[in-house]
Amino acid sequence: MKRPIVSGQLGRRGGFSLVEVVIALGIITVGVTAVLALFPTALQTGHSAQDETRAAHIAQSVFGSLVAGARSQFNNVRLPPTPVVIDLTAPPSSSTSPILYADNDGNLLQGATNAAYAIYIYTNISVPGFTDPGTANLVTVRVGWPANAPAANQTFRDYVRIVSKY
């Protein structure tokens, strides 16, 4: 049953005024803009984390090859699958190999074409605590990226390990 409208009392519908809608849209716009502004930073951070992880993986792979080769022949260790030979008894702090390269998956490559990472290997013939320098070397593997950039523009990380015959 309908109730009659009493004079002086108007029927009012529930809803938002135009001012309330404009304010709500303004707040939503500011929030969405703030979230969208975070995307470039988040993408750059994710890419940097990916590069750091791959660099550590590549260095670990190179160290594994060096250690495996050092046990059988300490001088002139070969790095598979590349035919590069590393002389572990080279003079201190000298580059002992040509630059090696790796792709985005961490696989060693023959050349700089399609390479994402450049790998430099340095040795130091004097290792504290070892009396015979022919049995152990301090090896530094430097992984830099992007591979084809000048050295001054590369980001790089150094990984250091003692490689011995035993």
Query: Please, what is the average pLDDT of the chain?
Result: 81
User: pLDDT tens for residues 67-123?
Assistant: 887 776 666 676 766 666 776 666 555 555 568 889 988 888 878 888 999 998 887
Please check whether residue 67 is in contact with residue 95, taking contact to mean a CB–CB distance below 8 angstroms.
no
Between 66 and 156, the higher pLDDT residue: 156
Between 126 and 54, the higher pLDDT residue: 54
Pairing of the two strands 108-109 and 100-102? antiparallel
Please state the φ and ψ torsions of residue 42, each to the nearest 5 degrees: -65, -40
Predicted pLDDT at 11: 56
